[in-house]
Amino acid sequence: MRMESFQLLVARLRYKHLLMLSTLGKVGNLHQTAVVMHMSQPAATRMLSEIERVFACQLFERMAKGMRPTKVGEMLVEFADNALTRLDRCAEEVHRYQLGGRGQLTVGAIMGAAPDLVAQAIIEMKRQRPMLQIRLMGETSDQLVALLEQGKVDIAIARYATSIQHNQFDFEPLGNENMVTVVRRGHPLTDAPLPPLEQLLEHWPWILQPLTTPARQALEKELEMEGLMSPRDIIECGSIFAALQLVQKSDALLVMAESVLRDHLNIGLIEMLPLNLGRTLSPFGLLTRKDTFYGEPVTGFCDILRRNAVQWE
């Protein structure tokens, strides 16, 4: 099916069709879908048949227990999920405006950019537009890219999670994180000369970001270039709060952005080790969806980010 034809077919979908695809994709059962949509099962069956006639192919396979989407069905379920998310956000913003608000901005940011660059931009944006509701979501780059793709955030301050995502998103570099390695206060490694990195990887536990994150991938690449094995004992953790609790209550080494750890370092809860890891990590930047019109307040916030990024370097 040519792309133009597929887009014309998608344009024929109504709201209830989208809701049907999204719900059936989640529950995998036509009876439960009918209950959720407050219709009879025969009516739900007719609606699914109508959608399948539009696309002239089967969208769900009938299994012994329930239903599962075909390849084309998976494409349409994803499209329906994204479209419904954006419709819900649009309705919420219109409702807020009618109540006297001034719109909503949802920003996703990696942990290293949030404490300095993003926080300052939010403060400045609120100074300019006090009634604007701003929602900040802090996640890892791979999670933020997924949220951006789904329309759950307007923009993301992150990195590409895979090499082909430049086909979906535009990227403007803003800065980089200074990655540091820390341990708890009073850790045995702080009272003696630091062993070679190879021994640290072999004999000590490490707290690292998940393998899907650019920061972890950069670390693994550096170890590969040095001919070293990954740490033998790893706790994978994508939560800043959990990672800080773990490092303070164990003998593990934690690799994380210095901006995130700064307050804990300043008050002496953790100590930095003289290790140079994460040096190949690519810059983070402003990620936006291609071919998407962004009005205020998104464009205004992006302008603030760009201006502050120059001063932050």
15 to 32, 61, 146: CA distances (angstroms): 19, 22, 23
- The CATH number assigned to the domain holding 56 equals 1.10.10.10
In a domain, 20, yes or no: yes
The answer on 268 and 191 residing in a single domain is: yes
Q: What is the pLDDT along the chain (313 residues), one digit of tens a residue?
A: 444 455 555 666 788 999 999 999 999 999 999 999 999 999 999 999 989 888 889 999 988 888 999 999 999 998 898 888 888 877 776 766 655 456 789 999 998 887 789 999 999 999 988 888 899 998 888 899 999 988 889 999 999 877 768 888 999 999 888 899 999 999 999 998 999 999 999 999 999 999 988 899 999 999 999 999 999 999 999 888 999 999 999 999 999 999 899 999 999 999 999 999 988 888 899 999 988 878 778 999 999 999 998 876 5
- The CATH number assigned to the domain holding 218 equals 3.40.190.10
Q: Which domain-ending residue is among 20, 51, 84?
A: 84
The answer on 186 and 169 residing in a single domain is: no
Q: Which domain-ending residue is among 84, 111, 130?
A: 84
Q: What is the DSSP string of the chain?
A: --HHHHHHHHHT--HHHHHHHHHHHHH--HHHHHHHTTS-HHHHHHHHHHHHHHHTS--EEE-SSSEEE-HHHHHHHHHHHHHHHHHHHHHHHHHHHHTT---EEEEEE-TTTIIIIIHHHHHHHHHH-TT-EEEEEE--HHHHHHHHHTTSSSEEEE--SSTTGGGTEEEEEEE---EEEEEETT-GGGSSPPPPHHHHHHHSEEEE--TTSHHHHHHHHHHHHTT-PPPSEEEE---HHHHHHHHHTSS-EEEEEHHHHHHHHHTTSEEEES----TTPPPEEEEEETT----TTHHHHHHHHHHHHHHH-
Q: Which domain-ending residue is among 22, 50, 84?
A: 84
In a domain, 95, yes or no: no
CA 301 to chain centre: 19
The answer on 291 and 171 residing in a single domain is: yes
The answer on 209 and 227 residing in a single domain is: yes
In the prediction, which pLDDT does 47 show? 92
In a domain, 89, yes or no: no
- The secondary structure of residue 213, as a DSSP letter, is S
In the prediction, which pLDDT does 10 show? 60
Is the peptide bond preceding residue 297 cis, with omega within 30 degrees of 0?
A: yes
Tokens of 30: 């036509």
In the prediction, which pLDDT does 301 show? 95
Task: Give the whole-angstrom CA distance, residue 161 versus residue 298.
Answer: 22
In a domain, 213, yes or no: yes
The answer on 191 and 168 residing in a single domain is: no
Task: Give the whole-angstrom CA distance, residue 216 versus residue 171.
Answer: 20
The answer on 288 and 162 residing in a single domain is: yes
Q: What total of structural domains would you count in the chain?
A: 3
In a domain, 42, yes or no: yes
In a domain, 90, yes or no: no
In a domain, 196, yes or no: yes
The answer on 259 and 195 residing in a single domain is: yes
Q: Which pairs with CB-CB distance under 8 Å and at least 24 residues apart come from 5-9?
A: 9/54, 9/55
In a domain, 307, yes or no: yes
The answer on 289 and 265 residing in a single domain is: no
The answer on 303 and 221 residing in a single domain is: no
Domain that holds residue 221: 179-273
The answer on 207 and 149 residing in a single domain is: no
The answer on 62 and 136 residing in a single domain is: no
Radius of gyration over every alpha carbon of the chain, rounded to an integer in angstroms: 24
The answer on 258 and 197 residing in a single domain is: yes
